[in-house]
Amino acid sequence: MSTGVLITSATAADASELAQVMISAYQDDDMYQAAFGRAVERPSNDQEQEERLLQEALFADFAFSSNILLFKAVDPITGRIIGYADRMVPTNSALVKEPEDMNSDHRSTSIEWPSWNNRQLFESGDALLNESRDRLLGGLHREIVWKLRKVVVLPERRGEGVGRQLLEAGFKLIDGEGRNVFPHSTTVAWKLFESSGFEVLEEVEVMEGYHMMAMLRKANGRVS
């Protein structure tokens, strides 16, 4: 179990380091690698740089979004970010950011995806997940349900309890509002979610042989 890990809000200044955490963590994710190609098989280092710049831009954009909360897990000895979690806040939550809190002058105006990236794979997967979410949660989910987008931990720091600490930091906010929270979990993470009060609603195949679990945690951890 991890001890002394610092969980705090992430900002746009963390975008570069968060991007590296994500890229490292997703080296064993089949869907991510199908879209970006495996690093060892790439024809040039240019693709690696383009992937990193894309992810940096996405994280910077998240940081300035009114309804995205980013948390980071920091090793207090090295100061290194070792994990993160991002959550989508319901539109009627008091935690939706006000314009004066977002420093929008520095927000990315356009994000360029590399031409060699299989963006269509992500978009088709997102369409399937969105259909699953809308059907399971109903028409008002954007207003009332928190969405847990990702909980990511560096591969070498998994098993230390970092992911659980990132989850619990969000629960304090979500339970404070008496809300339900919904993720689509990878098969790598769903056991962690299940042990934290989430129940599996359905399994969604988003790519041939690649499944994600639609899950729900009721307010204050209650499971029906």
Strands in 68-74's sheet, in edge-to-edge order, are 6-9, 68-74, 81-88, 146-153, 181-186, 210-216, 199-207
Architecture of domain 6-98+118-221: 3-Layer(aba) Sandwich (3.40)
C-alpha of 219 from chain center: 20
Give Cα separations from 154 to 72, 80, 160, 185, 192 (angstroms).
Answer: 12, 11, 11, 17, 15
Residue 101: which pLDDT band, with cuts at 50, 70 and 90? low
What average pLDDT score do residues 33-54 get? 83
Lowest mean pLDDT among 73-77, 82-86, 185-189: 185-189
99: exposed, middle or buried (C-beta count within 10 Å: 0-12, 13-18, 19+)? exposed
pTM here?
A: 0.89
Angle at Cα 184 formed by Cα 202 and Cα 24, nearest 5°? 140
pLDDT in tens, 119-170: 999 999 999 999 999 999 998 999 999 999 999 999 999 999 999 999 999 9
Distance, in Å, from the CA atom of 141 to the CA atom of 146, rounded to the nearest integer, reads 8
Higher pLDDT, 12 or 110: 12
Asked if residue 202 lies in contact with residue 169, where contact means CB atoms within 8 angstroms, the answer is no
List the domain boundaries for the chain.
6-98+118-221
Asked if residue 174 lies in contact with residue 92, where contact means CB atoms within 8 angstroms, the answer is no
Asked if residue 73 lies in contact with residue 82, where contact means CB atoms within 8 angstroms, the answer is yes
State the pLDDT at residue 3. 62
What average pLDDT score do residues 168-181 get? 91
pLDDT in tens, 16-35: 999 999 999 999 899 999 99
Q: Measuring CA to CA, which residue among 139, 141, 144, 222 is closest to residue 179?
A: 144
State the pLDDT at residue 6. 96
Q: Is the pLDDT of residue 183 over 90?
A: yes
For the stretch 13-17, contacts whose Cβ atoms lie closer than 8 Å and that sit 24 or more positions apart, written own/partner, are: 14/59, 14/63, 14/70, 14/72, 14/81, 15/56, 15/57, 15/59, 15/60, 15/63, 16/52, 16/56, 17/80, 17/81
Distance, in Å, from the CA atom of 205 to the CA atom of 211, rounded to the nearest integer, reads 4
